[in-house]
Every structure is written in structure tokens, then in C-alpha cells.
Structure 1
Amino acid sequence: MQEETKRILDMVENGVLTAQEAKELLEVLGNQSTVITPEVKEEFKKEPYTQENADFIDELKRDFTVVGERFMQFMQGTVEKIKQFDFEMPFGEPVVFQEKVVKEDAQFDDISIDIANGKVEIYPSEDATTYADVTVKSYKNSTEEEAKTHFNSEFVFTTEGNKLRMYSDLKTTSVQVVLYVPKKAYNQISVRLFNGDFIAQQLEANSIKVKTTNGKINWNELKFGQGDIETVNGSVQVQDVEGESIEVETVNGRIYVDGNLKEIEGSSVSGHVILTTKAKEARKVEGTAIAGNVELYVPKDVSLKGEATSQMGKLDVQLPDVTHLNQSEQLLHKKVVFTKILENESEPLRVHGEAKTGSVVIRYTSEGE
């Protein structure tokens, strides 16, 4: 049963099975009677083998039920978007043109972006102006003049009160935006994309939230109070950042976070989770994955209170100066609990790594900070 379960989960990680298909196979597997040979009895005589497997499979089924619901929401949203497409004009070679939209003397502290189809990049402008370089690919209009007229009537780029707002609900038009804004500390940056990547570099804000259904997310050299990233299908890469807290969630994709961060939470259903904090004031680093590995990297000169768990993978906690309070290698329930208390350290950094089928690795940062 253990081998069959691992095969199912490997197929999920490799994209061979969907979450719903995995859930159905696990239900069938859980209903089968377990054949216990003398060798199996000897290996697992200390633990109730059948019950342990049943509990594990029930837990996986609950996980994949949630994942299946998330994918169904994604598919329903996709179908609704497709229903709104105008298929009277056949898809062919697009009409491509570029526009530069400038907002003169714009004053704002919030940025809100909502793009149905297209890529968004945000950078600080060199001359403290606000403008957007837009590349438009229209699959609906036959001439460039028609495409420009349609784009200008539907694309919104304006200021409302204290907010810069960009909006495009064009379904058969790809809108690729490179936005330049004055270099300053913003209150909130909010981005929603249905289909497209997001890149941000050298920005500062109290709150940064990005949500995309299908697309990669890349943050570089950002400073924020609270960061929030959510994607259904796409990898997340966050590097050289500084912030109070960041939470990253993806259904299918790799998560990589590295920066001076006090709290990090990363969760992926199918993908590796790699989290690194270099902040000596860090309070929490938590990584979880169902079908994927978890790697956590923490500063050396801080107090620690941590835990690593995995049902089917390896636990690799290479922290030579910690005390192992508890270590369990039971079937489908591997666990390591550790602690380290330094003088003049008030609250320890809480470290938690959990993987259902993959391995959990915990190390000090290479800088030894």
C-alpha cells in the first residue's frame, strides 16, 4: 500500500494525474484489504500498519479534496472567461502596435492593476514621472486603426482620488504593460491577473498583493510591510527583499523566497518550497508541500524552536548546535523536534517544515548570519 500510494503521489507531482484523479485512486486503495506477510509483520509489529496507512490515506484524500475544489474554481473561471470571447472573428495573425500612456503630475499612494490577458512589469521611473509602455496584440480587429480605437475605448489608465488605476478586460487582446512610477514608499500595491506573468523591481510599499490564475511571479529588490502572493498555476520567485511578513501560496509551481524577512509562509501543492530568511529578528519560517520537497534556511546566531515532519520523505536537519528533543522514524510519521536557546534572546525563531511525500531540509544560511 505504501508503494502504491507513493506511485500515485509521484504521478501528481509529474503532472500525470490531476488532484481529483489522485483522490479517487486513494479512495480505491484505502478500501482494499492489506496483505500482511511475515516480513511485513516483523517490520511493522510495533505500529498498527493497517490503521496507520488508513489514517494517512484519509489525510491525503482531504488534502486532494481541497486541491480539487481549487482546480474546479480555476476551470469554472476559465470557462466563464472563454464564454465571453467573441468568436465571430477567427483567430489568426494578431495586429500588433505599441502605445505610451503618460499621466502628467499624477499624485497617488495606491496602485491597483487588473488585467484579464497580458503581462505586467513595474519599475521606478528615473525622472519621477508616471507612464506606461504598452504592447498590444489584438486578435479581433482586422486593421491597426480598428485595434487602436478598440483598445483606447476599453483600456483604463487613470487616477481616482489617491489611487492609480489600470484596468483591461480585453479577452481577445493581449496587453503587455511596463509601468514606471515615481520612486517612493507607497501605501498599497494590488495586482490581479487572469492569464499572465508579473514582475516588480525596486519598489517599496506597506502592502503588496499579487494574485494570478495562470502565470509566473517575480519580485526583486522590494521593501514591504506585508506581502501576499497567490497563484493557481505558476512559479514564484522572490529575491533580495526586505519585509515584515510574506505569505506565498500556489497549487502548481515552485516557490523560492530569499530575503531579510521576519515572517515567511510558503505553501505549494505540487512543487518545491525553498524559503530563506537572513533577518536576525525573524519570528517564523514555515514551509509546507504535498507533492514536493521543503527547504528552509535560517540565520545561525538566533534562538530556534523547530519541527520537521514527513510521511514518506527524508528528514535532513543539519543544525549541529541544536538539541533534538524528539525524533521519530515511525511508518508514515517521521518527525524531528529541535531547539536552541541563546543568551539575551527573547523569543526563538519558529521553524516548521512539512512535506507529505517529499523531503524536508533545514540548514543555516550560507552566510552564517
Structure 2
Amino acid sequence: MDEERQRILKMMEDGIISLEEGERLLRAKGSEASSGPQADSKDHGEGSSSESRRSGAYRTDKKAAGSQKRKSKEDPFAMLSGFFDHALDRVKRFDLDFNFGPSVDFQHTFEHDESDIRSLDMFIQNGSLICQKWEGSTIRVACQVKAYTEESEDAARRDFIEGTDFDSRSGKLRFASRSGNYKVQAVVYVPEKSMDKMDVSTFNGDIRIDGVQTDNLYVKASNGAITVLHASAGYLAVETANGAVELKEGNIGSADVKTWNGSIHYDGSLSDIEAEALNGAITARYTSLSERSRAVLSTTTGSIKVITPREIRTEGVLRTNVGNYKCLLDNIEVKEEKSEFMQKYYQFVSNPDSTPTLRLEASAKTGAITVQDHE
């Protein structure tokens, strides 16, 4: 029994099962232990039935899914099997680039005089988006297009141009390719002057932002990785349902970063960031800091690693349920420490007489938290 409890705790720590699922399994094990041999005999009698239930867990039909959910409450290990089946099914259904059959390839470039443009709104249904600065005076969108059609190249190009939004109104330039019949790899060339606002999004595809200047930058992908390099923005919002996020260098005032399935990595001198990953690790490497910087980092099944300059002051609060924490900074004053079952808490200050200051809050449900000086 102790070995099974340890195995469950290990799965929780590694992020294989959630905190709530682990608690149910532990409670179920406790109930089995108290019921004695009679319960064991009953379990052996129902083994084949339980196995049959597990094999059909989490079918796409809603009625079957609801029935399985009721069964999982009775059999926690059927619930665990269903969890893996459901996760695999979600991954399969999120492969959105499903076009096949005959296709034609061509290139097309949209261009607009940027003199009156203060904001950009860019969207691609299927493909990828790159936004980068250049020395030209116009805004240019260069598209490499794969059209899934039996038409000729000229006809496919004409249909693509007619079906793509590219227009300006009241100082806002909009580009949108909304049809799933095209896979569009677009490079948006933005003049070096600063914009008021930029919205960049894809439904299925990666996004890369490089060197742009704007007061507000919003980047969103339903299924795709997001990379922001050397950007200058007063406020940055990044969100992806399925993909990694990387922020590197640049000059960002404050940032909100979220991903459902993927890691978050930032490297530079962000003065204010809130980052959340449901299923993925968070790595924060600071090269320098403003006078007072803030980082609020949280993950459910991943780990958190923060690397700071050696000489700065760090005011930190670390929280984890079943994971571990390590604070490897020098000259630490421990303010408060708790290490209880399913709840660990560590509050500290490093280099209390130094400046600048990083205020850090890191929370991981099942993963480990590490804070250290530069490697």
C-alpha cells in the first residue's frame, strides 16, 4: 500500500496526473485499506469489468463521456486511464493543418503607404506570420501561398487576392486571410517608426515578432508557437492554446503571457511580467533589471526556474503543493518557511542591502521551483 501511495505522489510531482486526481486516488487507496480482505475479494471479482470500462474511456460521444465520468468516480484507476485517453484524443484533434489533395503555389505582395497608419491588425487562418521592421517607408505583406484547389495558378491567385482583406480605415491597416483553403506564410515588413497598437494572430500557425516598436502589442495563436525578439512595447500580451512562448531581449514595459500547452521562456530585462502555463515549464533569465521589477509566475504541471544577476536584491515567495523548491542565491534571509503535506511555502530576501530589486512570486502545483544566480 505504501508503495502505491508513493507511486501516486510521484505521478503528481511529475505532472502526469493533476492535484485533484491524485487526491482522489489517495483517498480511494485509504478506503481500500480500511475495507480489508472483503473489499479485495470484490475487486478481484470485478477486475474484467473494470478493465472493459477503462478501454472505452473518453469516447468523443457526449453520452459515452458522461457515462465514463460516472464510472470513474466509482473506480479511480478507470479515471486515470480515461485521463490519458482524453489527453491523447485532444492532441489528435488539435492537428488542424488537415488540407490535402491537389494544390498550386504562388507568391503575392500587398503594399500600403504607411504615412497615415498608426495601428496594425494582422490575421491568418492557416500558415505563419512574421512581423519585422525594415528601412522602407511602406508597410509590405509578402505572402507565400499554397492554394488547395484544382484551378490554375492565375485563377487561384485571383481568388486569394479577392478573398483576402487588405484595407485601411481611420489610421488602421488590416490584413486577414480567413480561408482554410490556403496555407499562407506571410512576412509583414513594418517601418521603424513606432505604432500605437499592433494585433497579430493566427488560428493555426506560428508567429514571430522581430524588432517592431509599438505602444501596445497583442499576439495570439490558437495552435502555434509565439516568439517575440528585440521588440519595444509599453505593454505586451501573448496567448497561445497549444505552443511554446519565447520572449528575448527588447524593451518591454509590462507583459502578460499565457499558454495552455507549452513552455514559456524569457531572457532579458522585463520590468513587469505575469506568466502562466497550464502544462509546461517556465524559465526566466534576467540579464539586467530596472529599479524595481516584478515577476508573477505560475504553472500547474510544469517546473519554474528563475536566474537572476548575482548582485541584485530579490524578494521572493515560492509556493508548491507536491513539488520541491530550491533557493540557491547568496546572502539569504528566510522570512517564513512551511513544509506541510500538499503545501510548501518559502519566503525570503537575498542581498537585503542591494539594488535594484526583483519582487518574485512563483507557484507550481506539482513541479519544482528553482531560483539561482547566473549559471
Query: Would you say same fold, with TM above 0.5?
Result: yes
Query: What is the CA distance between 1:325 and its match in structure 2?
Result: 1.5
Instruction: Tell me which structure has the larger Cα radius of gyration.
Output: 2
Residue 333 in 1 paired to residue 343 in 2?
yes
Report percent identity of matched pairs: 24
In structure 1, what is the Cα distance between the partners aligned to 2:279 and 2:336?
Answer: 29
Alignment partner, residue 116 of structure 1: 125
Distance 1:9 1:323, change over 3 A: closer
Distance 1:114 1:306, change over 3 A: same
Distance 1:364 1:36, change over 3 A: farther
The question of whether the paired residues in 1 share the 8 Å contact of 2:165 and 2:177 is answered with yes
The question of whether the paired residues in 1 share the 8 Å contact of 2:195 and 2:214 is answered with yes
Residue 253 in 1 paired to residue 234 in 2?
no
SS in 2 for 1:97: strand
In structure 2, what is the Cα distance between the partners aligned to 1:302 and 1:179?
Answer: 39
Alignment partner, residue 104 of structure 1: 113
Alignment partner, residue 351 of structure 1: 360
Alignment partner, residue 151 of structure 2: 142
Alignment partner, residue 173 of structure 1: 182
SS in 2 for 1:319: coil
In structure 2, what is the Cα distance between the partners aligned to 1:111 and 1:242?
Answer: 20
Query: What is the CA distance between 1:341 and its match in structure 2?
Result: 6.5
Alignment partner, residue 292 of structure 1: 302
Query: What is the CA distance between 1:231 and its match in structure 2?
Result: 0.5
The question of whether the paired residues in 1 share the 8 Å contact of 2:311 and 2:354 is answered with no
Residue 280 in 1 paired to residue 277 in 2?
no
In structure 1, what is the Cα distance between the partners aligned to 2:267 and 2:334?
Answer: 26
Query: What is the CA distance between 1:106 and its match in structure 2?
Result: 4.6
Deviations 1:34-76 (A, max 9, x none): 6789xxxxxxxxxxxxxxxxxxxxxxxxxxxxxx9xx99xx7x
The question of whether the paired residues in 2 share the 8 Å contact of 1:253 and 1:271 is answered with yes
In structure 1, what is the Cα distance between the partners aligned to 2:256 and 2:21?
Answer: 30
In structure 1, what is the Cα distance between the partners aligned to 2:22 and 2:158?
Answer: 52
Residue 126 in 1 paired to residue 123 in 2?
no
How many matched pairs?
Answer: 316
Q: What residue identity is the alignment partner of 2:314? A: L
Gaps of 5+ in 1: 38-67
Residue 312 in 1 paired to residue 312 in 2?
no
Q: 1:33 aligns with which of 30, 33, 51?
A: 30
Query: What is the CA distance between 1:168 and its match in structure 2?
Result: 1.3
The question of whether the paired residues in 2 share the 8 Å contact of 1:264 and 1:275 is answered with no
Alignment partner, residue 323 of structure 1: 333
Which deviates further from its counterpart, 2-11 or 170-179? Answer: 2-11
Deviations 1:262-288 (A, max 9, x none): 111211111110123321324311211
Gaps of 5+ in 2: 35-82
The question of whether the paired residues in 1 share the 8 Å contact of 2:9 and 2:322 is answered with no
Which TM-score applies when normalising by structure 1?
A: 0.77
In structure 2, what is the Cα distance between the partners aligned to 1:23 and 1:198?
Answer: 34
Alignment partner, residue 4 of structure 1: 8
Distance 1:23 1:195, change over 3 A: farther
In structure 2, what is the Cα distance between the partners aligned to 1:122 and 1:30?
Answer: 52
Distance 1:222 1:349, change over 3 A: same
Query: What is the CA distance between 1:311 and its match in structure 2?
Result: 2.0
Alignment partner, residue 77 of structure 2: none
The question of whether the paired residues in 1 share the 8 Å contact of 2:15 and 2:302 is answered with no
Distance 1:309 1:36, change over 3 A: farther
The question of whether the paired residues in 2 share the 8 Å contact of 1:285 and 1:296 is answered with no
Distance 1:95 1:161, change over 3 A: same
Aligned alpha-carbon RMSD (Å): 3.1
Which TM-score applies when normalising by structure 2?
A: 0.75
Residue 244 in 1 paired to residue 248 in 2?
no
SS in 2 for 1:283: strand
Distance 1:300 1:11, change over 3 A: closer
Deviations 1:277-328 (A, max 9, x none): 3213243112111111101123444433211122222211011112012223
Query: What is the CA distance between 1:32 and its match in structure 2?
Result: 4.3
Deviations 1:207-253 (A, max 9, x none): 11111110010111111111110111000111112211111110110
Which deviates further from its counterpart, 326-335 or 251-260? Answer: 326-335
Which deviates further from its counterpart, 207-216 or 323-332? Answer: 323-332
Residue 227 in 1 paired to residue 224 in 2?
no
In structure 2, what is the Cα distance between the partners aligned to 1:112 and 1:211?
Answer: 12
The question of whether the paired residues in 2 share the 8 Å contact of 1:287 and 1:296 is answered with no
SS in 2 for 1:147: helix
